[in-house]
């Protein structure tokens, strides 16, 4: 287990003209990292949570060292709690600016510094709850950049379902989704909601548009207690030797 804990994590700071503020990033580099090679990448919303509560660096090390999963880089994008809803919600007052920052500033910033593959199929967007929401909207708005989403109990309110239904064909999109069966009464800053129904509606809308979808329901609540346990399967889905093109 000690090898899994020997993680290489870099810290970066990006000044955003679009957001009018700086944003901190965490970058996980895989075992054997070599800047002469190129790597696929996972971009995580709620970046600090993915690294601390999700333990994504330790999980990634374990998958790469023990299961022969293809090496990949992870970038965690931080968010302030006070700004999270305004930046992540589908109709948040700063969501459009956040999406532009993510695609027009943050990705070029990272790709100038790390040897990341630049095809849409080599980039994965990962998010929990509203982080899943904004990941979906980024992919739908920038399909030339993103073709993969790892969604942990995504907050797919009706406005997000409407956005999916605007698309005639989503066969280009590959998505791994999980929701906990105990998430029927989730308290949020906007009210109390049934996330199981949110995700089932999203599943139907995606399937009707031929999305390459892997959908899972398991016992569990709207917490990292569920998401951390399921994160390895989500990463395997995209990076197992027989899955990554």
Apex 102 CA angle, 223 and 72, nearest 5: 70
Q: What is the pLDDT of residue 7?
A: 73
CA distances from 118 to 9, 38, 183 (A): 21, 9, 36
Kindly tell me the sign of the dihedral angle through the C-alpha atoms of 18, 139, 136, 46.
negative
- Say how many Å lie between the first and final Cα of the chain, rounded: 29
CA distance 18 to 97: 6
CA distance 186 to 24: 29
CA distances from 130 to 67, 151, 196, 240 (A): 30, 10, 14, 27
Q: What is the pLDDT of residue 244?
A: 47
Q: What is the pLDDT of residues 212-243, one digit of tens each?
A: 999 999 999 999 999 999 999 999 999 977 65
Helix (H, G, I), strand (E, B) or coil at 123: strand
Question: Which residues does the chain have with pLDDT short of 50?
Answer: 1, 244-245
Q: Name the CATH superfamily housing domain 2-239.
A: Alpha/Beta hydrolase fold, catalytic domain (3.40.50.1820)
Q: What is the pLDDT of residues 52-64, one digit of tens each?
A: 999 999 999 999 9
CA distance 197 to 180: 11
- pTM (two decimals): 0.94
Q: What is the pLDDT of residue 113?
A: 97
Helix (H) / strand (E) containing 81? helix 81-88
């Amino acid at each position: 287990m000690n090898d899994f804990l020997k993680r290489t994590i870099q810290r970066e700071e990006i000044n955003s003209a679009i957001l009018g503020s700086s944003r901190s990033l965490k970058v996980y580099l895989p075992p054997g990292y070599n800047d002469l090679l190129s790597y696929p990448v996972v971009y995580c919303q709620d970046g600090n949570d993915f690294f601390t509560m999700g333990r994504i660096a330790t999980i990634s090390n374990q998958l790469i060292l023990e299961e022969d999963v293809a090496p990949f880089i992870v970038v965690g994008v931080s968010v302030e709690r006070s700004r999270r809803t305004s930046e992540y919600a589908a109709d948040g007052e700063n969501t459009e600016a956040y999406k532009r920052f993510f695609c027009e500033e943050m990705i070029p910033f990272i790709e100038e510094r790390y040897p990341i593959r630049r095809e849409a199929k080599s980039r994965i967007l990962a998010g929990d709850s509203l982080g899943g929401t904004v990941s979906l909207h980024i992919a739908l708005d920038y399909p030339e950049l993103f073709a993969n989403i790892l969604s942990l109990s995504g907050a797919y309110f009706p406005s997000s379902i409407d956005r999916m239904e605007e698309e005639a064909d989503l066969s280009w999109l590959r998505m791994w989704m999980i929701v906990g069966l105990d998430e029927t009464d989730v308290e949020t800053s906007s009210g109390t909601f049934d996330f199981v129904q949110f995700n089932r509606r999203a599943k139907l809308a995606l399937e009707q548009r031929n999305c390459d979808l892997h959908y899972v329901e398991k016992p569990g609540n709207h917490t990292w207690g569920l998401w951390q346990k399921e994160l390895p399967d989500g990463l395997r889905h995209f990076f197992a030797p027989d899955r990554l093109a």
